[in-house]
A and B are shown apart, each in its own frame.
Chain A
Amino acid sequence: MLALFVAIYQELIVDIRRPGAVIAASLFLAAGCSTAGADEHASPSTSAPANAQASANPTVQIGASHCGEGWTNPQAGPQIIMVTNTGDVSSGVDLVDVPGGAVHAELEGLAPGVTRPLRVSLTQGTYAIRCDVDERDLIVGPSVTVVGNAPGGPATVPISDNDLFAPAQAYTEYVTGGLKTLRAKTEALTKAVDRGDLTAARRAWLPAHLAYESLGSAYGTFGDFDGEINGRPAGLPGGVHDKNFTGLHRVEYGLWHDESAKTLRPIADRLYQDVKALCDDFPDERLDPADLPLRAHEILENTLQFELSGRSDQGSGTTLATAAANLQGTRETLAVLRPLLQGRYPGLKQVDAHLDRVETLLAAQKHGDTWTPVDQLDHRVRKTINGAVGELLEELAPVAEILFPRRTQ
C-alpha cells in the first residue's frame, strides 16, 4: 500500500510549486500593517460602518463560467469583496497575486447561490480571483490592477498536497523506526511482568511509554490501536476498572497500585500483542500528509492538556518525561516540514529557540531514571514550563495555516 502511495506521489509531483516562486517573506510583519489597516477602514474616506457599506463593496462572481467577473475599480487598502457563487456546484475562492500566486485571502466551499465576504488588505499590484470549482481544474479570473497608496496584508505562497508527500514519507520512516523501539521496549516490560519481577517492570515501563509518546504526528494513523495501547480511562463507564481500559496506562495503574503479577500478566501480554499488531499493520497505513502541519501544534496541545496538568498520570509521576517525548515528536514533525517552512514562516527561528528552551526546562526535571512529578514542581518552575510551552504553542499554530494544502494547479 505504501509502495502504491509512493508511486502516485511521484506521478503527481511533476508540476508542484516552482522552487523559485516569489515568497512572501514578510508574512507576520505584514500582519501588523493589516491591523493598522483595519482602523483605516473606518477613516473618513470610507467612513460608513461595515454594514451600511456592504452595497459599496464589489460583488465578484465565482464559478466555472464567470470566475472573477465584477471586480472593478479596485483600490489599495483594507476591503471587503463580496463573492457570489453563480455556478451550479460548490466552489472555493482564492485571491492571488499575479504572477507570483501568493494567496492573500480564501474561502472554502461556497454553495451555489451563496454570497460571502472576502476580507483582505491589498497594496498596489496585480491580482486575480482564482476559483476552485468542485471537480474542475483551477480557473484563474482576469488580472486586476489595484491602484492607490496603502499597505497590503499578509500572503503566503501556497503549498499543495504533493508538497507534503515527501515530508509524510520521511515522517513515516521515523515512525517505522520508532515502532521497532516501541516493540523492543514493550517486550522487555512484558517479560518482566511475566516473570513476576515488578520492580524490573516498573523500570521498564517508562522506556516503553516514551517510545510510544515520541511518535508524535502518527497517532491519527494508528486508528483504534492508539486507544488500545495508550488510552486513558476517560469516557469508560468503569473508569480504571473498565475492561476496555487497556495498554500502557493500564499497566502503569497496576504497577503503581500494588496489583499482582498475576493480575497484570494478561494486561501486559495484551499490550504486547497490540503493539505487535500495530507494527505489522503500520506499513499498510497511510499517514495523511495533510495531518503533519496540524500536528506541529496539536502534539503539544495534548501535552499541555494531559501531561503538564498531570491528568494522564496513573501513578508513575512521569508526565514530564512524556512531555519531553512529545517535544521530540514535535521536533521531528518540524524537521520534515522545514523545507516548506523556510521562507514561508519568519517565526521559525523563534520556534527553534523556544523548542530548545522547553527541552532544557524539562530536562532539568530528570534525575537519572526518575522525573519530578508535575505536582511536586517548584511553583515558579511549573509556571515557567507552562508559560514556555504556551508561548511555543502560539508560535506553532501558524504552521497549520501556512502549510494548509491548497490546490496550486
Chain B
Amino acid sequence: MSGYNRRTFLAGALATGIAGAVARTAQAGADAGAPPVPPFHGPHQAGILNPARRRTVVAAFDIVADGKAELTELFRTLTDRARSLTTGGVPPEPGITAPPADSGILGPNVPAGALTVTLGLGASLFDDRYGLASRKPAGLVQMPVFPNDDLDPAWCHGDLSLQLEADDDDTVLHAFRDLARHTRGAMQVRWRMNGFVSPPRPSGTPRNFMGFKDGISNPDTNDAAEMDRLVWVRDERPETAWTTGGSYVAFRLIRMLVEFWDRVGISEQEQMFGRTRDTGAPLDGAHEQDVPRYELDPAGKAIPITSHIRLANPRKPETDDSRILRRSFNYDRGVDDVGNLDVGLLFTSYQQDLHRQFEAVQMRLVDEPLVDYISPFGGGYFFVVPGVPDTSEFYLQSILI
C-alpha cells in the first residue's frame, strides 16, 4: 500500500520539469489592473505581502507519509507542483500508458492565472512521527479555544496548510486538484474552505458580509522595516534558525449570523464596529483611511470603548507591536439546518508572533458586542515556511536532509 502511494506522488515529481520551462511572466497579471503576483522563488513565500487575489482555497491536511523519507518526498513533490502550477505551461504527455497528467479544466496550455501557493506547517507535524520535534518553530502551538469560540474539531488544526490564491475559481480548484492528486499517499485533506474577495463597493477596502469594509487598517506591506518587525520570523538558535524568513498564519473560520445582523439597527451596527457602514470612516472621521483619534475621545462618546476597531487596535505605543497583517476572504457554503445562510469570514492574519500579536488582539476582543453575531467554528495556526530560493531547492530542505 505504502509503495503504491509513494509511487503515485513521485510520479508527480517527475512530471514537473517540463511545465517548469515556460517563462513565468507570460501569463502573470491575467487580471488587468491587478499587480502581478510575486515570483515563486524568493526568501519569502508569495501570497503573504501581495494584495489578496479574488479567489482562494485554504485547506489543512493530515500527513500520513510513512516515515521521514516519504515525508521528504512529499515536500519535494509539493515544491515541484507549486513551482509548476504557479508558472503554467503545457502538461507533460503521458502517452498510452496512463491517464492524462492534468485535469484539463484550464485547457491544454495551463495558464499561471496569478496563482500563489502558500504552505504552512501545524504544531502536530513536530510530534515524534518524523523526528522533527527539536526543529519545531519556537512560536508554533495548536490554536487554543477562545472564550467566544464554538469550534468543530472537524474544521480545526492540521499538520500542513495550503492557501491557494488566484483570480478565478477554476484556477484555484485546478491547483488544489493537482496538488491533492500528486500527494494522496502522503497527506489527506482535513478541511477545506473556499473564499473570495468582493470587489470594492463602491471603492476602497472590500466589504464583508456584514456590509462593513473589512481590513482597512493594515500594516504597510511596502515598508520592509515594518514587515521585519511585524510579519517575518527571525531566529538565530541553531535548531530553529531554518524558520528565518517564515511567518505565522492564523486561519479562523468565522460564521456570520447575517440574518440576525440584518435585524439590528444601523446605529447599533456602526457603534459595534466603530465605523460608518457607508464609507468605512471611523465614527470620528469622514474617510475610510482617517485615523481614529482616541486620545480626543477618552470616554468613547464618538467611538465606543467596546467597539471592534478600538479594542482590536487601540493605537497606543504599547499595543503597536501587536498589530497583525490581515488578509481575509469571505466564504459562502450554502445554508444551515434552520435555513439561514452559512456565510462568513475566512479570517487570515500573518504575524511574527502568534502570542504577542494575534492572541493579544483576540483576547482584547473577548466578549465585544459583536460576538453575538459571529461564531468562530474552525481554523488553525500554521508556521508559513520560508520561501524556496531557487530551482535547486525544495520546501524544508534544510531540516529534512
Kindly report which residue of chain A lies nearest to residue B371, judged by CB atoms. A235
Interface residues of A in 214-253 (CB under 8 A from B): 232, 234-237
Give every chain B residue within 8 A of A107 (Cβ-Cβ). Answer: 267
Q: Choose among A111, A310, A387, A400 the residue that contacts B302 (Cβ–Cβ < 8 A).
A: A111
Give every chain B residue within 8 A of A356 (Cβ-Cβ). Answer: none
Give every chain B residue within 8 A of A383 (Cβ-Cβ). Answer: 339
Give every chain B residue within 8 A of A336 (Cβ-Cβ). Answer: none
- The distance in angstroms between the C-alpha atoms of A394 and B151, with both chains bound, is 28
Interface residues of B in 270-323 (CB under 8 A from A): 271, 276, 278, 283-286, 293, 296-297, 301-304
- The distance in angstroms between the C-alpha atoms of A396 and B260, with both chains bound, is 11
Q: Could you tell me the distance in whole angstroms from the C-beta of B312 to the nearest C-beta in chain A?
A: 19
Interface residues of B in 341-359 (CB under 8 A from A): none
Q: How large is the interface on B (under 10, 10 to 19, 20 to 34, 35 or more residues)?
A: 35 or more
Q: Could you tell me the distance in whole angstroms from the C-beta of A361 to the nearest C-beta in chain B?
A: 14
Given A114-B285, A237-B144, A387-B339, residue A393 in contact with residue B301 (CB < 8 A): no
Q: Choose among A89, A232, A235, A297 the residue that contacts B146 (Cβ–Cβ < 8 A).
A: A235
- The distance in angstroms between the C-alpha atoms of A389 and B268, with both chains bound, is 23
- B50 CB within 8 Å of chain A: no
B145 touches A237 (CB 8 A): yes
B302 touches A235 (CB 8 A): no
Given A237-B144, A394-B263, residue A108 in contact with residue B338 (CB < 8 A): no
Given A114-B286, A383-B339, residue A301 in contact with residue B260 (CB < 8 A): yes
- The distance in angstroms between the C-alpha atoms of A44 and B378, with both chains bound, is 51
Give every chain B residue within 8 A of A234 (Cβ-Cβ). Answer: 149-151
- B259 CB within 8 Å of chain A: yes
Give every chain A residue within 8 A of B223 (Cβ-Cβ). Answer: none
Count how many chain A residues have C-beta atoms less than 8 Å from C-beta atoms of the other chain.
38
B259 touches A390 (CB 8 A): yes
- The distance in angstroms between the C-alpha atoms of A400 and B257, with both chains bound, is 18
Give every chain B residue within 8 A of A134 (Cβ-Cβ). Answer: 301
Q: Could you tell me the distance in whole angstroms from the C-beta of B287 to the nearest C-beta in chain A?
A: 11
Q: Could you tell me the distance in whole angstroms from the C-beta of B21 to the nearest C-beta in chain A?
A: 50
Kindly report which residue of chain B lies nearest to residue A114, judged by CB atoms. B284
- A116 CB within 8 Å of chain B: yes
- The distance in angstroms between the C-alpha atoms of A237 and B150, with both chains bound, is 10
- The distance in angstroms between the C-alpha atoms of A393 and B339, with both chains bound, is 14
- A109 CB within 8 Å of chain B: yes
Instruction: Return the CB mask of B194-211 against A: 1 if under 8 Å, else 0.
Output: 000000000000000000
- A86 CB within 8 Å of chain B: no
B283 touches A309 (CB 8 A): no
- The distance in angstroms between the C-alpha atoms of A10 and B144, with both chains bound, is 50
- A386 CB within 8 Å of chain B: yes
B148 touches A235 (CB 8 A): yes
- The distance in angstroms between the C-alpha atoms of A308 and B146, with both chains bound, is 25
- B99 CB within 8 Å of chain A: no
Interface residues of A in 109-168 (CB under 8 A from B): 109-112, 114-117, 134
Kindly report which residue of chain B lies nearest to residue A393, judged by CB atoms. B263
Give every chain A residue within 8 A of B144 (Cβ-Cβ). Answer: 237
Given A90-B297, A109-B283, A111-B302, residue A309 in contact with residue B338 (CB < 8 A): yes
- The distance in angstroms between the C-alpha atoms of A305 and B302, with both chains bound, is 32
B339 touches A114 (CB 8 A): no
- The distance in angstroms between the C-alpha atoms of A89 and B150, with both chains bound, is 41
B-side interface mostly: loop
- A259 CB within 8 Å of chain B: no
Instruction: Return the CB mask of B86-114 against A: 1 if under 8 Å, else 0.
Output: 00000000000000000000000000000
B148 touches A115 (CB 8 A): no
Kindly report which residue of chain B lies nearest to residue A51, judged by CB atoms. B202
B301 touches A236 (CB 8 A): no
Kindly report which residue of chain A lies nearest to residue B145, judged by CB atoms. A237
Given A108-B267, A115-B286, A237-B145, residue A304 in contact with residue B338 (CB < 8 A): yes
B339 touches A390 (CB 8 A): yes
Give every chain A residue within 8 A of B263 (Cβ-Cβ). Answer: 297, 301, 393-394, 396-397
- A106 CB within 8 Å of chain B: yes
- The distance in angstroms between the C-alpha atoms of A109 and B307, with both chains bound, is 13
B257 touches A305 (CB 8 A): yes
Q: Could you tell me the distance in whole angstroms from the C-beta of B60 to the nearest C-beta in chain A?
A: 19
Interface residues of B in 340-383 (CB under 8 A from A): 340, 372
- The distance in angstroms between the C-alpha atoms of A40 and B271, with both chains bound, is 30
Kindly report which residue of chain B lies nearest to residue A242, judged by CB atoms. B145
Given A90-B302, A235-B147, A236-B145, residue A111 in contact with residue B283 (CB < 8 A): yes
Q: Could you tell me the distance in whole angstroms from the C-beta of A148 to the nearest C-beta in chain B?
A: 26
A301, A309, A383 pick with most chain B CB within 10 angstroms: A301
Interface residues of B in 5-42 (CB under 8 A from A): none
Q: Choose among B151, B265, B302 the residue that contacts A114 (Cβ–Cβ < 8 A).
A: B302
Give every chain A residue within 8 A of B304 (Cβ-Cβ). Answer: 109
A116 touches B147 (CB 8 A): no
B148 touches A111 (CB 8 A): no
Give every chain A residue within 8 A of B147 (Cβ-Cβ). Answer: 235
B260, B278, B296 pick with most chain A CB within 10 angstroms: B260
- The distance in angstroms between the C-alpha atoms of A396 and B264, with both chains bound, is 11
Kindly report which residue of chain B lies nearest to residue A108, judged by CB atoms. B267
- B337 CB within 8 Å of chain A: yes
Kindly report which residue of chain B lies nearest to residue A236, judged by CB atoms. B145
A386 touches B302 (CB 8 A): no
Binding site for A on B (CB under 8 A): 144-151, 257, 259-260, 263-265, 267-268, 271, 276, 278, 283-286, 293, 296-297, 301-304, 336-340, 372
23 cross-chain CB contacts under 8 A: A90-B302, A106-B267, A109-B271, A110-B302, A111-B283, A111-B284, A112-B296, A114-B283, A114-B284, A116-B276, A234-B149, A234-B150, A235-B145, A235-B146, A235-B150, A297-B263, A301-B257, A305-B260, A305-B338, A383-B339, A387-B339, A393-B263, A397-B264
Closest 6 CB pairs of A and B: A397-B263, A111-B302, A111-B284, A90-B301, A234-B150, A237-B145
Binding site for B on A (CB under 8 A): 89-90, 106-112, 114-117, 134, 232, 234-237, 297-298, 301, 304-305, 308-310, 383, 386-387, 390, 393-394, 396-397, 400-401, 404
